[in-house]
A and B are shown apart, each in its own frame.
Chain A
């Protein structure tokens, strides 16, 4: 209170009941003020607003999780939830793309995912960097080497708008049906209750009807991906 509100996402999984985590990039007034807070200080939270990914409907499927940059923040609970109910899902593939190795988030989690042999975790940085011996190239460069059964796989993608364009193209080449692809959208949200008008994607109010959508739901909305 006193600075304003910003729409944020919960980054801890639902089975973690005692507390929840949020991960915030310092970008504007509100998030800068959040970064200045120290432990024990108070802040106000209004929500939850909108809807999350319909995880229950994904059970029995393979999961292909595609995270670009801070898109990993809303996907971390998806990944942790899937890991905690590992038997509910078939193959789990996680692709994580960042511009620079310094941008890696949740290093402990990344290490843990890498170690597991029941999860295929792959990390890439966009351009070569000194001292980086991992994969280099945009996230879609993984697509050619992936052996995926599009009929039995749910793709969940979160990243910057430019990534959606290319990942969606890649998925469509792989044979994914629109209703098997899920994504989350960032839009300006001021009220969170469908009144202020800022988060509209054509006729859809992201704060109320989203922010997660299947591609089938938004592919006719020209403002969603363009």
Chain B
């Protein structure tokens, strides 16, 4: 993987040039939190020292909360126009958890049944990452779910090495952006070696550990279907869906048609839906296949740590902690997994 070097001052001018030349989306302060927003100047960026993950992840730009997928005109010759335009965007200062979140959305939407709407938008987006050196706050657990280090999923990745940044170039698109908006220096062998050493030691600065092997979780969950934990969580759960909204990998949606007042033209929309909501699995006959909150909490954990994990080889959770920060009753996937590992340990079944 090719590396370049930018000193701190040059990084500022890179951001200034980039933001002047491209539509750049980056974390900015919003009240006492951070949000993704269009920036035009480097001083709008969130202070990396104070940064915690943005209220909503990059998902909202890749897979909008409400999206027109087809425009139509009814009549004897109905007209259907798929909505596939996508504007170019550059995501700047994307943290490792969110790089993984974007990569997992890619895995989901661009698999054997490719989602064209997502694909077009994704193609127009560049991802420029920024490394973390410690936990954002008490809620992240990226290191526990394999989300700490990133070696793919970005076009450029910046890592703060004191006086300078090491830039890892992930794609040609990234190389071109760097070339166009900065004057990077070659990275010496020593610098690269030092950078790799820091990367290798990074895990030691992130102390949260699951009480069992990450890759044993699908097996752990197989044996935990009837755990009393689900009923406990079902009792406190508010079924508000805040975790679904804020999760970088939650991507369930509803589809609905909307007619204009002329009753001739209209559009088919898809909008975010959430498996935690009461009527998510309700069918027209009145049968609801997940009436209980406990069933829905369990489904969400199983989808991330079993179903998607068995299909794609990694948990569909990046440990960003957004669901925990947004949960009013403190439902916490990291604690759920550890509790299940403990239960499994006690009953001496699977998971270890």
Contact = CB atoms under 8 A, between A and B. Distances in A.
B215 interface: no
Contacts of B270: 191, 196
B251 A3 contact: no
A28 B284 contact: yes
Contacts of A196: 252-255, 270, 273
A170 interface: no
B257 interface: yes
Interface stretch (A87-95, A116-124, A136-144, A200-208): A200-208
A42 interface: yes
A191 B116 CA distance: 13
B303 A2 contact: no
A45 interface: no
Interface residues of A, number: 32
B217 to A, nearest CB: 14
B285 interface: yes
A104 interface: no
A161 B287 contact: yes
B181 interface: no
Contacts of B78: 1, 42, 44
Interface stretch (A14-22, A77-85, A182-190): A182-190
Interface size class of B (residues with CB under 8 A): 35 or more
Contact of A27 (B275, B285, B302, B306): B285
Interface string B28-63: 000000000000000000000000000000000000
B74 A197 contact: no
B289 A223 contact: yes
Q: Is the interface of A mostly helix, strand, loop or mixed?
A: loop
A5 interface: yes
Interface string B254-272: 1111010001001010100
B322 to A, nearest CB: 19
A198 B289 CA distance: 10
Given A1-B72, A1-B78, A1-B266, A6 B251 contact: no
Contacts, number: 93
Contacts of A186: 283, 285, 287
Given A2-B259, A4-B256, A195 B281 contact: no
A187 B252 contact: no
B266 to A, nearest CB: 5
B161 interface: no
B303 A200 contact: yes
B287 A203 contact: no
A56 interface: no
Contact of A191 (B255, B266, B285): B255
B281 A191 contact: no
A41 to B, nearest CB: 11
Given A2-B74, A31-B284, A190 B255 contact: yes
Given A186-B283, A187-B289, A1 B251 contact: no
Instruction: Among A2, A200, A208, find the residue whose CB has the most chain B CB atoms closer than 10 A.
Output: A2
Contacts of B310: 203
A173 interface: no
B282 interface: yes
Contact of B251 (A31, A42, A195, A202): A195
A4 B267 CA distance: 10
Interface in A178-226: 186-188, 190-191, 193-198, 200-203, 208, 222-223
B307 interface: yes
Given A2-B259, A196-B273, A197-B252, A203 B281 contact: no
A145 to B, nearest CB: 30
A196 B274 CA distance: 10
Contacts of A195: 108-109, 113, 115, 251, 253
B280 interface: yes
Given A1-B78, A27-B284, A203-B307, A197 B256 contact: no
Nearest to A30: B284
21 contacts: A1-B78, A2-B72, A5-B255, A6-B284, A42-B76, A42-B78, A160-B287, A186-B287, A187-B281, A188-B283, A188-B289, A191-B253, A195-B108, A196-B252, A197-B252, A197-B273, A198-B254, A201-B289, A202-B302, A203-B310, A223-B295
Interface of A: 1-6, 25, 27-28, 31, 42, 44, 160-161, 186-188, 190-191, 193-198, 200-203, 208, 222-223
**In the complex, the 10 A-B pairs of residues with the closest C-beta atoms, listed nearest first:** A197-B252, A203-B307, A27-B284, A28-B284, A190-B255, A4-B257, A2-B259, A196-B253, A188-B283, A1-B72
